[in-house]
């Protein structure tokens, strides 16, 4: 088989498919396709709605990007959203909360939510890095367990899957777009700087590219991998804060349908399912593309079933391209 240097068309194609340029192209194609045919697609209100709707997915996908770069995968992030939402609401709900009506209810709930996300991530990372269990099995089991735990907790506290009457100081994160955008932007920028400007960021790429070589090179493999899952858990908690605040209810079902989009956005943005490659900026455009796609199809009154089918097909193609570009770059 002929080998291709990076200067050849095959090398260029592989690099393009592995960069954010591919996701940018998809965004432009989606915008161009929906703008003429979807009613109200280019209106200011709809474009603002697209941006706001993309923020929780962005946080989840950025956390997933870090884990994928390290050579892992986190299927539990949507369950973390649900259980964190219930725990936070359990603290601050005026109807069922431990601190109902207290001035500190919202900030304490925020810390509880972030802490719970970090603890689930720590559990996943410890099992995977410390016990050397398969990431797929650990996080799939976590998704089932914590998803069920969220439902049980909600039923135990409120007798239903949702908790209401959250304090105004908390729901402000959903009522004021600038607050939600500021949180998501700051967290995304932090992840970008972590990966591109810090030694732990370089360790993550080295670990994903080859755990054996990384270990020989002195990378603290176990600690770095565990930290990646803690990072993912905390970003899932941030996403839960935005979803819970925007809907003004704590629910065990928040985020349940986002798993396909979370992994798909990262892959569409150039993050490899095989580890060692990915960029936060690419994930941003991957998220934006999927949000554009969902919004446009919704405005065209396409059913949820067909929307899921279309997104699944797009993500499947992206996964196939990931395999192709990985082989092409290795051959180069």
Report pLDDT digits (tens) over 207-266. Answer: 999 999 999 999 999 999 999 999 999 999 999 999 999 999 999 999 998 999 999 999
d(CA 42, CA 3): 45
Report the C-alpha gap between 212 and 208 in whole angstroms. Answer: 10
Structure tokens given for 7: 């200067």
3-state secondary structure of 162: strand
pLDDT score of 261? 95
From first CA to last CA, the distance across the chain in angstroms is: 11
| Token code pair at residue 191 | 């992840």
Neighbour-count burial for 161-195, b at 16+ CB within 10 Å, e otherwise: bbbebbbebbbebbeeeeebeebbeebbeebbeeb
Among candidate residues 30, 59, 51, the one with its CA nearest the CA of residue 184: 59
pLDDT at site 212: 95
Q: What residues have CB less than 8 Å from 51, skipping those under 6 apart?
A: 177, 181
The mean pLDDT of 192-199, rounded to a whole number, is 97
Copy the structure tokens of residue 37.
């045919």
Is it the case that residue 181 has pLDDT exceeding 80?
A: yes
Q: Which of 6, 87, 20 is nearest to 288 (CA)?
A: 20
pLDDT band of residue 96 (cuts 50, 70, 90) is confident
Q: Cβ(195)–Cβ(277) under 8 Å?
A: no
- Quick check: 69 and 238 in contact, CB under 8 A? no
Q: What is the pLDDT of residue 3?
A: 46
Torsion over CA: 161, 104, 229, 174 (sign)? positive
Q: What is the pLDDT of residue 287?
A: 97
Q: Say what the pTM is.
A: 0.93
Vertex 88 angle, CA 182 and 295, to 5°: 50
The rounded radius of gyration (Å) of the Cα atoms in the chain is 20
Per-residue confidence at 330, pLDDT binned at 50, 70, 90?
A: low
pLDDT at 5: 44
pLDDT at 84: 97
Mean pLDDT, residues 163-186 taken together: 96
Per the DSSP assignment, residues forming a β-bridge with 251 are 162
């Amino acid at each position: 088989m002929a080998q291709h240097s990076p200067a050849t068309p095959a090398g260029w194609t592989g690099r393009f498919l592995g960069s954010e340029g591919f996701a940018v192209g998809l965004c432009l194609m989606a915008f161009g396709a929906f703008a003429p045919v979807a009613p109200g697609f280019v209106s200011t209100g709809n474009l603002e709605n697209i941006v706001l709707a993309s923020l929780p997915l962005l946080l989840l996908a950025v956390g997933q990007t870090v884990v994928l770069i390290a050579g892992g995968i986190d299927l539990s992030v949507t369950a973390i959203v649900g259980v964190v939402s219930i725990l936070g609401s359990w603290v601050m709900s005026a109807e069922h909360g431990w601190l109902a009506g207290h001035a500190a209810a919202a900030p304490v709930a925020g810390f509880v939510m972030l802490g719970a996300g970090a603890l689930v991530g720590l559990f996943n990372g410890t099992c995977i890095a410390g016990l050397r269990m398969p990431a797929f099995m650990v996080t799939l089991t976590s998704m089932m367990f914590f998803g069920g735990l969220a439902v049980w907790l909600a039923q135990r506290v409120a007798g239903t899957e949702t908790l209401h009457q959250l304090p105004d100081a908390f729901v402000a994160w959903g009522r004021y777009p600038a607050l939600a955008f500021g949180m998501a932007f700051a967290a995304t920028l932090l992840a970008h700087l972590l990966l591109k400007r810090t030694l732990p960021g370089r360790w993550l790429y080295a670990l994903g590219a080859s755990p054996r070589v990384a270990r020989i090179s002195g990378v603290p493999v176990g600690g770095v991998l565990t930290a990646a899952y803690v990072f993912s858990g905390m970003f899932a908690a941030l996403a839960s804060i935005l979803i819970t605040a925007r809907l003004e209810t704590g629910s065990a079902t928040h985020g349940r349908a986002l798993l396909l989009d979370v992994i798909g956005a990262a892959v569409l943005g150039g993050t490899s399912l095989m580890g060692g490659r990915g960029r936060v900026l690419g994930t941003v455009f991957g998220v934006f593309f999927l949000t554009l796609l969902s919004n446009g199809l919704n405005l065209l009154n396409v059913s949820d079933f067909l929307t899921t089918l279309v997104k699944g097909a797009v993500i499947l193609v992206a996964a196939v391209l990931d395999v192709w570009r990985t082989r092409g770059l290795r051959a180069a």
